[in-house]
Chain A
Amino acid sequence: MRGLRLIRFIMTRLLQAIPVVLGVVVLNFLLLQLAPGDAATVLAGEAGGAPPEYVEQLRARFGLDKPVLVQLGLYLKNILLLDLGFSFRNNAPVLGLILDRLWPTLLLMGATLLVSVGGGVMLGVIAALGVRTWRDHLISVAAVIAYATPLFWIGLMLILVFSIRLDWFPTSGMEDVVAFHEGWARVVDIAHHLVLPTITLSLFYLALYTRLMRATVLEQRGAEYATTARAKGLTERAITLRHVLRNALLPVITMAGVQVGALLGGSVVVETVFAWPGLGQLAYQSLFARDFNLLLGIFFLSACLVVIVNIIVDVVYVLLDPRIRVGGKT
Chain B
Amino acid sequence: MTAPATEAWRGIAAELEDEITGKLGTLLRRRSRALLADLIGPYRRLVVTIFLLIVASQLAALAGPWLIGVGIDKIPALEHSHDAAPMTVVIVAFAVSVLVQAATTRAYIAGIGRLGGRVVLELRRRLFAHFQALPVAFHEQYTSGRVISRQVSDIDSIVDMFDEGLASLVSAVLSLLLIGGGMLLLDWQLALVVLAGVPPLAFLSAWFRRESAVAYRRTRTTIAQVIVQFVETFGGISAVQAFRRERRNEEIFGGLNQDYAKATLWSQRLLAIFFPSVTLVGGLAIGVVLLYGGFRVIDHQMLVGVLVSFLLYLQRFFDPLIDLSQFYSTFQSAGAALEKISGVLDEPPTVAEPEFPAALPAALTDELGRQVRFEAVRFGYRAATVLPDLTLTIPAGQTVALVGTTGAGKTTIARLLARLYDPLAGRVLLDGVDVRQLDDRTLRREVVLITQENFLFTGSIADNIELGKPGASRAEIEAAAAAIGAHAFISALPGGYDAEVGKGGGRLSAGQRQLISFARVFLAAPAVLVLDEATSLLDIPSERLVQNALRTILTGRTALIIAHRLSTVAIADRVLVLEHGRIVEDGSPAELLTTAGEYAALHAGWQESLA
Please determine whether chains A and B interact with each other in the same assembly: no
Interface residues of B (CB under 8 A from A): none
